[in-house]
Amino acid sequence: EELVLSSWLPPKHPVVTQVMTPWAESVEEATEGRVTVRILPKPLGPPPAHYDLAADGIADITYGLHSFTKDDRFLRSRIGQFSFIGDTATDASKAYWDVYSGPLDAQEEHADTKLLGLFVHGPGMFHNNQRKIETPEDFSGLKIRTPGGYIAGLSQDLDITTQFMGPGEVYEKLSRGVIDGVTFPMEALQAFKLTDHIKYSMKVPGGIYNTSWFLVMNENRWDGLSDEDKAAIEKVSGAALAEMAGRVWDAADSNGASYVADTEIEVYDAPPAVVDAIRAIAEKREAEWAAAVQDTGFDGAAALAELRSQTGVSD
């Protein structure tokens, strides 16, 4: 049985070459060749369409970001987007899979698909070319590209003007002064060639934000597999995939960090006053989220505490 995977990242992106391709091979191996996964050379739609490509059966398997589309789905997935959730992608991804797919019943939010995997990238950082952020007031008036969702709201509360655009447009807009900076993990500075246009990169313990990713399969195709193959695929997915993806992101971040070390960019840890200001807003936003999650019958606050205790950033 051949399953078709639609992939929207560039074919040489580490998530394709070091996560999706090895995962596809491990599926074939685990099912002794009964199930194969073919990665298409060209995606069947734009990145934001990818969840629905699998849900609607246009493709069998897709991956993507929960924050791609702004709608009523995936409320509980946002636990993976908050500040201070993990110092490494590996720890945070494992905890994210454990908590979101466990107590927060991620499968229920992934309607019409079988949820195969969840992961996050490395700790999100704050990069800009205007000034070193030393007090919370330094954020004020900066024009920053954010991926939307939690970090967009957090930034607005810090008096930042947020701008939304595709990640591919960041270089162009940064070099033309349309934006002053961007929130990204470390690896993106090299991946998107931003090092000439960034001067200050601020680290926040556990990350100022993160981005949550899914790997899903069309539900009907999943139901059509034998129980033996389902078990084999589940074994190489889930927690195993979270760990594999986390390691790839961590490696990308450490490559990115040594690349950035040779540039003029000043990489520094956020001063306590800045962390405190972020924490104050984060707590407010987390409480709002937990209340909304409460309405769907889940305990968001407990889940977030559990996630942080697993990654060791709880204090």
Partner 1 sequence: MIESLIGFAALFGLVLLRVPVALAMIMVGTAGFAYMRNWSAALNLLGGAAFDTSLSFTLSVIPLFIFMGNLLTISGVSQSLFSTAHHLLHRMRGGLAMASIVACGGFSAVCGSSLATAATMSKVAMPSMRKAGYADSLATGSIAAGGTLGILIPPSVILIIYGLITEADIGKLFVAGVIPGLIGVLFYLAAVYTAVLLKPQLAPSGAEDHQVTRRDRLGVLAVLGLFIVIMAGIYGGFFTPTEAAGIGAATALLIAVLMGGLTVGKLFRAGVDCAKTTAMIFAIIIGAEVFSNFVSYAGLPDAILDWVTSLDVNAYVVMLVLVLIYVLLGAVLESLSMILLTVPIFFPLVTSLDFGSGILSDPEMVVIWFGIIVVVVTEISLISPPIGLNVFVLRSVLPDVPLPTMFAGILPFWVADLLRLALLIAVPGLCLLLL
Partner 2 sequence: MPDESTQPAPSRLWLGVKTILGLACVIVLFALMGLICVDVVARYFFNSPIRGAYELTEIFLAVLIFLALPLTTQARGHIEVELLNGLKSRFLDSLATVVAALSTIGVFAILSYVVWEHAEKLASRGTVTNSLELPLATIGYLAALSCALSAVLFFLQSLRRI
CB of 191 to partner 2, least distance (A): 21
φ, ψ dihedrals at 2, nearest 5° = -105, 125
Nearest to 196 by CA among 175, 181, 217: 175
Is 162 a residue that touches partner 2 (CB under 8 A)? yes
Number of residues that bind partner 2 (CB under 8 A): 17
Interaction partner, residue 171 (partner 1, partner 2, none; CB < 5-8 Å by kind): partner 1
Q: Is 173 in the site for partner 1 (CB under 8 A)?
A: yes
Cα dihedral angle (162, 163, 169, 173), rounded to 10 degrees?
-80
**Nearest distance from C-beta of residue 18 to partner 2, angstroms:** 29
The 143-145 sheet, strands edge to edge: 161-163, 143-145, 181-184, 125-128, 200-203, 266-269
Q: Binding of partner 1 at residue 102 (CB under 8 A)? A: no
Following CA atoms 244, 249, 250, 253 in sequence, which dihedral angle do they give, to the nearest 10 degrees? 160
Q: To 10 degrees, the CA torsion angle through 81, 83, 88, 94?
A: -50
Q: Is 158 helix (H, G, I), strand (E, B) or coil?
A: coil
CA geometry: angle at 286 spanning 201 and 94, to 5°? 70
Work out which of 13, 34, 73, 247 binds partner 2, going by CB under 8 A. Answer: 73
Q: Which of 18, 130, 153, 178 binds partner 1 (CB under 8 A)?
A: 178
Asked whether position 285 contacts partner 2 by CB under 8 A, the answer is: no
Cβ 156 to partner 2 shortest distance, Å:
10
Distance CA 37, CA 61 (A): 9
Which residue stretch of 5-13, 84-92, 159-167, 288-296 sits at the interface with partner 2 (rule: CB under 8 A)?
A: 159-167
The region, left, alpha or beta by phi > 0 then psi within -120 to 50, assigned to residue 142 is beta
Q: Which does 239 bind (CB under 5 to 8 A by kind): partner 2, partner 1, none?
A: none
Q: What is the DSSP letter of 299?
A: -
Contacted entry of partner 1, partner 2, none for residue 13, CB cut-off 5 to 8 Å set by kind:
none
The 36-75 site mask, x for binding partner 1 (CB under 8 A), equals ----xxx-xxx-xx--xx--xxx-----------------
Q: Which of residues 242-281 bind partner 1 (CB under 8 A)?
A: none
163 binds, among partner 1, partner 2, none (CB under 5 to 8 A by kind): partner 2
User: Other CB atoms closer than 10 Å to residue 259's CB: what's the count?
Assistant: 16
By a kind-dependent CB cut-off of 5 to 8 A, residue 251 interacts, out of partner 2, partner 1, none, with none
How crowded is residue 257: how many other Cβ atoms within 10 Å of its Cβ? Answer: 17
Question: Residue 73: which of partner 1, partner 2, none does it interact with, CB under 5 to 8 A by kind?
Answer: partner 2
Contact positions vs partner 2 (CB under 8 A): 52, 69-73, 141, 143, 148, 152, 161-165, 177-178
Contact positions vs partner 1 (CB under 8 A): 4, 10-11, 40-42, 44-46, 48-49, 52-53, 56-58, 165-166, 168-169, 171-173, 175-178
